[in-house]
Amino acid sequence: MKEATGNSFLFIHELRAEVCHELRIHAWLFNDALRRMHARELAHAEFEINLDRGLGAKLPPSEGPFQIGDRAFYLITLLRRT
């Protein structure tokens, strides 16, 4: 996985694919954990999800955006906890 140093912007679909492959979990489990972290129900990491609708056309056909309600997110910013 790419090194996340400082503030790193990652494509959510790429992060999801790599994490799911490494942990051998389904994408729905990753999405559920990410939604819970975003809602601050899980306190394992601090991050900000950036919305960018313009990236939708660049997703591989087998991937979908990360969604919360009807909002689609394509990028995630990982913030190092201090």
Separation CA 7–CA 60 (nearest Å): 25
Does pLDDT of 17 surpass 90?
A: yes
- The DSSP line for 18-30 is HHHHHHT--HHHH
pLDDT by residue (tens digit) across 29-68?
A: 999 988 887 777 766 656 656 655 555 557 888 888 888 8
Does pLDDT of 19 surpass 70?
A: yes
Q: What is the pTM of this model?
A: 0.74
Separation CA 17–CA 68 (nearest Å): 18
Does pLDDT of 1 surpass 50?
A: no
